[in-house]
Amino acid sequence: MATLELDSITKHFDDDGKTIVAVDDASIDIDDGEFLVLVGPSGCGKSTTLRMIAGLETITNGELRIGDRRVNEAKPRDRDIAMVFQSYALYPHMTVRENMSFGLEESTDLSNDEIAERVESATDTMGINDLLDRKPSELSGGQQQRVALGRAIVREPEVFLMDEPLSNLDAKLRAQMRTELQRLQEDLDTTTVYVTHDQTEAMTMGDRIAILNDGVLQQVATPLEAYHTPANQFVAGFIGEPSMNFFDVDLEGETVVGGGLDYPVSGDVRATLTTDSLVLGIRPQDIELVDAVESGRDVAVTVDVVEPMGDESNVYLSLPDTREGETFIANVDGRTPVEAGDDVVARIPEEAVHFFDRQTGEALR
């Protein structure tokens, strides 16, 4: 069983006497065969977490277990993991075949025949049979990445660790490799931890995603849970494209007021609001553009900019000059006839509204 457990893992770095808390008390239980994506903005501690699992970085506090075995002190090669880096890290002077067999020759007592068999099977899986005698400099970026993955596969590890493995590829190849990697992981059924700052990769690839910010784990959830029921305002703003719109509002009786809104809340919703100082969140996809103001949940706005993307458009909206407020984005069907300067009405349906505690960021609804 290759479960992987991070139990209150903390990492401190010393920066000229100042302590940097790169990872703060993170606990994640990763199931056998699960694909877990670690995602978050630059500097949030993703790579440090992965490097601690790999044994490339010591753990300041907490316990790391692979298949119930404490591995805090185990050397990288004794952890039964294989890592794929953003830079591919292939040996430039070796052929593809040598790159793939080298690690096995060094760290296992497999016979030459067994090694050749494993290399062949991995090259079949990755579709790189034609490249075996080439050097890395004779390969495209996508081919190099396949070799790097093949080199991880031949190890037949308990756990794959991947640090932004697709970020050096162009958009089209990245999308193709994304599906290939998912299929590969399903076929091999190997526990995988995958680091990325790209939320599309996180949303499409992860069985679950772990969202980090500033060294602190924000939420571990399926992609859809994180999208629909974010634990806090950070997750709500990080997951989803374009980002969720936020309005700072105060609860005043039966309405929330602020950011240009004067928005009535029903009794059910009001009952979930445990503080008066709130942030109202609404996803651009949930805003409708309509013809006329029919209730307090409709806001008269002006179109600033339209970004057409074919099947859909992002429409940047602001309140009329006479009213101060937030600007926000509606994501609408690309055939919606709107252009810059139009006066329109934005409808904010209550069932799609999220509320957050303005002080703690915690999701209330």
Instruction: Please answer whether residues 210 and 36 qualify as being in contact, where contact means their C-beta atoms are separated by less than 8 angstroms.
Output: yes
For ligand ATP, which stretch binds (CB under 6 A), given 43-51, 114-122, 200-208, 259-267?
43-51
Determine if 165 is a binding residue for ligand ATP (CB under 6 A).
no
The residue written with tokens 């105060």 in the block is 250
Determine if 45 is a binding residue for ligand ATP (CB under 6 A).
yes
Instruction: Please answer whether residues 88 and 136 qualify as being in contact, where contact means their C-beta atoms are separated by less than 8 angstroms.
Output: yes
Determine the Cα angle at 206 with ends 363 and 307, to 5°. 70
Considering only residues 15, 68, 113, 321, which one is a binding residue for ligand ATP as defined by CB under 6 A? 15
CB of 42 to ligand ATP, least distance (A): 3
Element (H, E) at 242: none
- The residue among 42 and 322 lying less far from ligand ATP, judged by its C-beta, is 42
CB of 44 to ligand ATP, least distance (A): 4
Considering only residues 65, 134, 178, 197, which one is a binding residue for ligand ATP as defined by CB under 6 A? 197
- The residue among 119 and 217 lying less far from ligand ATP, judged by its C-beta, is 217
Determine if 268 is a binding residue for ligand ATP (CB under 6 A).
no
Cα–Cα distance for residue pair 260/328, rounded to 1 Å: 11
CB of 9 to ligand ATP, least distance (A): 12
Instruction: Please answer whether residues 110 and 118 qualify as being in contact, where contact means their C-beta atoms are separated by less than 8 angstroms.
Output: yes
Considering only residues 1, 20, 89, 290, which one is a binding residue for ligand ATP as defined by CB under 6 A? 20
Cα–Cα distance for residue pair 163/46, rounded to 1 Å: 9
Considering only residues 4, 6, 22, 205, which one is a binding residue for ligand ATP as defined by CB under 6 A? 22
Considering only residues 30, 47, 283, 356, which one is a binding residue for ligand ATP as defined by CB under 6 A? 47
CB of 197 to ligand ATP, least distance (A): 5
Determine if 211 is a binding residue for ligand ATP (CB under 6 A).
no
Instruction: Please answer whether residues 259 and 249 qualify as being in contact, where contact means their C-beta atoms are separated by less than 8 angstroms.
Output: yes
Determine if 210 is a binding residue for ligand ATP (CB under 6 A).
no
Considering only residues 4, 6, 37, 46, which one is a binding residue for ligand ATP as defined by CB under 6 A? 46
How many H-runs (helices) and E-runs (strands) does the chain carry? 9, 20
The residue written with tokens 């699992």 in the block is 53
- The residue among 10 and 108 lying less far from ligand ATP, judged by its C-beta, is 10
Helix axes 96-107, 141-153, angle to 10 degrees: 20
Determine if 199 is a binding residue for ligand ATP (CB under 6 A).
no
Per-residue tokens: 59: 């753990």
Considering only residues 16, 42, 291, 309, which one is a binding residue for ligand ATP as defined by CB under 6 A? 42
Determine the Cα angle at 66 with ends 104 and 68, to 5°. 135
CB of 84 to ligand ATP, least distance (A): 15
Nearest alpha carbon to residue 121 among 159, 164, 151, 143: 151
Bond into 157 cis (ω within 30) = no
Considering only residues 2, 6, 39, 48, which one is a binding residue for ligand ATP as defined by CB under 6 A? 48
| Number of Cβ within a 10 Å radius of residue 48 | 21
For ligand ATP, which stretch binds (CB under 6 A), given 41-49, 226-234, 257-265, 290-298?
41-49
Cα–Cα distance for residue pair 242/219, rounded to 1 Å: 20
CB of 1 to ligand ATP, least distance (A): 28
Write down how long the chain is. Answer: 365
- The residue among 40 and 258 lying less far from ligand ATP, judged by its C-beta, is 40
Cα–Cα distance for residue pair 318/305, rounded to 1 Å: 10
Binding footprint of ligand ATP on the chain (CB under 6 A): 13, 15, 20, 22, 40, 42-48, 197
